[in-house]
Amino acid sequence: MIKVYIDWNVMSGMRNGKLEEFTNIITNKNKFLLVYSTSHISDIFASIKEGNDNKEEIKSDLEYITYLTNNLCIVTIPQSFTVDYYDPNELFEEEFENKKLLSDFSIDNLLDYNIYGEDFIKTLKELPLDDDFKQALDDQNNSQYLDKLFPDLNTNPTIGGFFKSYNKMFNDSMKTESFKYVKKIVQEIGLNSGYFNDNKNPFDLIEKAYKKYGMTPYDNIKPCTYIPEWFNNLTNDYIILDIHGYKEDKIEVQDRHKKTFRNTLEDSSHTAFASRFDFYITLDNKSIKKSQAVYNKNKVFTKVLKPTEFVEYYKTYLNRNTVNEHFSDIISTICKGENFYSLINKEKIVIGAEKITCEYFFNYFNKISLFEPEYSDSVFVLSRNNASFPTITFIKEIQFLINLFIHEIGNDINNRGLFEFDEFLEDDIWTIREWKTNKGTIILRRNLGWLQLYFYKI
């Protein structure tokens, strides 16, 4: 199956009857595997209106996520991620509880008096800040900036005062236009939207500006230990681009709509989650440019497209449904011989040729390998070039792949029919599937966790 991540604005448009052609294509659940993330839940949570008078609309949003994804959700865990079935309604309730905690970063809210005791918490709150920080607060050159970033901290330079000030700064950035000031401070190093050139790598331009000061844009970024490193890297890179003016989001709060730092933060999370998938579908032009730049920097091969672009991609490369149609595509690709590169073994001998394709043969494979006769008697080998690492292969993908062959070719040579989950043995070992056809022999093999298809002449 072809894994697709769709951002919430596109999902919302689909739910409201827009993007009809895209919707008809992407809801083919025999071809596409759709997954939602906790960032979708955050997007819906942000739509809560005062008085909660859009409760039915939110319910409809969550039901639509279930309809599209069958509740399959990607979530981060320390150093990795998992994809499992989660009810969006339950995640929404968890989001509600988490937001109550995040709305108050004060020590009183973060620490339990019953556990730590009143005297300990009182002492902690009254501890003075580091001398260097206090000197920075007193420095007239710095104070005008720090007063904006950490409001009222200069009147209470303690640990308790810092948490209270940080709480105000964080919540203001999520609800008001205050993040504009943060961008202004950062861009005073000489960067802004006019500094960037579409023909040059934006990260190179940012690092060049910092190099003049003997710094890098990452010097003061501390990784979050409770989320995986790759997620940290992608979200940080996305925010670095925006905060320095590259395709930056507009910060504007009006009665009818709000565009705050929260929008950028959620977009960065969508970009990170989408990096585990073959396609990322969004309508946001600025987000597309930032996501593509982030993916290029981090060697992620996820394709970022608008819904209309995906429709054209589908018509050109993905609109094959039967085994015969896929085989015709494979033969055509081999006969054209375009964009193949040499396969070289450890002894630096050319043993064949390989190509990463725009097509996903049998709705899964996107890499063709051709070997010299002395190294393999196969006509070709199909495998998958994943968008990123680490990645995941769903049992559901293997199930749909096998069942495609069963429905059109019949049972395999061992008379096994539709895929059964007990085919997986201990240590994730999977028994070989093999078919004899009038075209040749097809063998599906799982090697070191990677699924491959071998095709041999009769």
Among 4, 70, 65, which Cα is nearest to 38's? 65
Query: How confident is the model at residue 120, as a pLDDT?
Result: 61
Write down the pLDDT at residue 310.
98
Among 5-14, 97-106, 158-167, 227-236, which stretch is predicted with the lowest mean pLDDT?
Answer: 97-106
Q: What is the pLDDT of residue 136?
A: 58
Q: Could you tell me the two tokens for 347? A: 């002894």
Q: What are 375's two structure tokens?
A: 């190294």
Residue 405 has a pLDDT of 93
Distance set, CA 60 to CA 44, 95, 190, 258 (Å):
11, 17, 46, 22
| Best CA proximity match to 70, nearest among 105, 32, 104 | 32
With a cut of 90, say whether residue 445 has pLDDT above it: no
The per-residue pLDDT for 162 is 59
C-alpha pair distances (Å), 168 with each of 150, 173, 260, 264: 8, 8, 15, 19
pLDDT confidence of residue 8: 94
- Mean pLDDT on 242-264: 80
The arithmetic mean of pLDDT across residues 405-414, rounded, is 92
Contacts of 407-411 spanning 24+ positions with Cβ under 8 A: 408/322, 408/323, 408/324, 409/323, 409/435, 409/437, 409/442, 410/435
For residue 203, the model assigns a pLDDT of: 92
Q: Summarize pLDDT for 43-72 with one digit per residue, the tens.
A: 888 877 655 667 888 899 999 999 999 999
Kindly report which listed range (16-30, 179-193, 382-396) carries the lowest average pLDDT score: 179-193
Q: What confidence category does residue 176 fall into, taking pLDDT thresholds of 50, 70 and 90?
A: low
Phi/psi at 49 (nearest 5 deg)? -95, 160
Alpha helices in 103-223 (DSSP H): 107-110, 113-116, 118-126, 131-138, 140-149, 159-175, 179-186, 202-211
Least confident window among 34-48, 255-269, 330-344: 255-269
User: pLDDT class for 313, splitting at 50, 70, 90?
Assistant: very high
What average pLDDT is seen over the chain? 82
Is residue 166 scored above 60 in pLDDT?
no
Q: Which range has the worst mean pLDDT, 65-69, 223-227, 321-325, 374-378?
A: 223-227
Instruction: Quote the pLDDT of residue 154.
Output: 65
Sign of the Cα torsion 261, 262, 265, 266 reads negative
- Looking at residue 196, its pLDDT comes to 86
Task: Report the pLDDT value the prediction gives residue 241, as an integer from 0 to 100.
Answer: 92
Question: What's the whole-number mean pLDDT along residues 4-26?
Answer: 95
| Mode of pairing for the β-strands spanning 32-34 and 2-6 | parallel
Asked if the peptide bond before residue 307 counts as cis, ω within 30 degrees of 0, the response is no
Give me the pLDDT at residue 226, please.
74
Contact at 8 Å (CB) between 296 and 21?
A: no
Mean pLDDT in residue range 114-121:
58
pLDDT at 7 over 90: yes
CB atoms within 10 A of CB 303: 18
DSSP 75-94: EEETTEEEEEE--HHHHHHH
pLDDT tens digits, one per residue of 123-162? 655 666 566 655 655 665 555 555 666 666 666 666 666 5
pLDDT band (50, 70, 90) for residue 99: low
CA Rg value for the chain: 26
Banded pLDDT at 199 (limits 50, 70, 90): confident
Global pTM? 0.84
Are 17 and 290 contacting, i.e. CB atoms less than 8 angstroms apart?
no
Task: Name which of 71-85, 93-107, 365-379 the model is least confident about.
Answer: 93-107
**pLDDT score, position 363:** 95
pLDDT mean over 435-444? 90
Q: How high is the pLDDT of residue 359?
A: 95
Among candidate residues 60, 8, 61, the one with its CA nearest the CA of residue 34: 8
Running DSSP on this structure, what letter comes out for residue 67?
Answer: H
Give 209 or 13, the one with higher predicted confidence.
13
Worst-scoring range by mean pLDDT, 122-126, 277-281, 293-297, 356-360?
122-126
Residues 104-119, mean pLDDT to the nearest whole number = 54
| Tokens (6 digits) for 307 | 């819904």
Q: 203 by DSSP, 3-state: which?
A: helix
